[in-house]
Structure formats: C-alpha cells, structure tokens
Amino acid sequence: MLGRVNHIALAVPDLAAAVETYRTTLGATVTEPQALPEHGVTVVFVTLPNTKVELLEPLGPQSSIAAFLAKNPAGGMHHICYEVEDIIAARDHLLLSGARVLGDGNPRIGAHGKPVLFLHPKDFWGTLIELEQV
C-alpha cells in the first residue's frame, strides 16, 4: 500500500528563520511560502534529490501547529507523509485494520493539490502519518 516517502514535516516557531537556515547554512532550495487556511498553516518545501522536507508554521492561534509548538517550543518533527496510489482504498484498508483516520475520514486537498488523509499517531507508535494520493 505505501509508496515512497513524500515528505517529512517539521513544525517551526519562525518560518522565515527556518527558511534562512535551510538556504544559507544547508544550501538547500526552498519554495516560496504558501498559506493553507483550511489546514491552519503556512508551508514551504525544502527540495531534496530523494524527497522533501516541509516546514510548517501556524496560521493563527487555533492552528494544530500552534498547539504542537506550545508543547514543543523549539519545533520538531510533526509528521511523515507517504504516497499511496489510491487514497480511498488505503483508507478503507486502514479502517478495516482498526486504524483511526483523523477528521471526518474523507480526504482533503493538501499542499500539493492532491488528496490527503492523516492517521492517528497513537496507532503508529507516536507518529502522525499523512497519506497523499499520487
């Protein structure tokens, strides 16, 4: 069911500072910031030869990323995103296996313009998992 790792997401308290660190210190290529109000975040992607790193900053105090940063003020790994060919088939398989899909269980459009779902971290050893249909 799982394909390649699409990206690893890091929550950061200061997106501009994180972008500067990735560009200057690490020499990485970073996309322009993209606000995603429906997800409550502003994101950039660090482009790597084999995957991407997504840097997330809260878009307002109600963002789940704001809650994450309240517990982890310096930031940290927020989730890992895996690609799947058919997100509905993946969701149905996971639900039958007893995994919990967050939200109402229906895919939403993610930062790449593709359907995504999130899986409860308690079902995956403390790691929030995002699935993205490719």
Q: How many CB atoms lie within 10 A of CB 122?
A: 11
Domain holding 17, by residue range, is 5-133
Catalytic residue among 54, 57, 83, 130: 130
From 72, 21, 15, select the one nearest 44 (Cα to Cα): 15
Number of domains in the chain: 1
**Could you tell me the mean pLDDT of each successive run of 10 residues in the chain, 134 residues long?**
96 98 97 94 96 96 94 97 98 97 96 96 97 97
Residue 81 confidence (pLDDT): 98
Record the tokens describing residue 55, joined without a space.
Answer: 């840097």
- Answer yes or no: 38 catalytic: no
Which CATH number fits the domain that encloses residue 69? 3.10.180.10
- DSSP code string of 9-68: EEE-S-HHHHHHIIIIIS--EEPPPEEETTTTEEEEEEE-SS-EEEEEEESSTTSHHHHH
DSSP state of 99: P
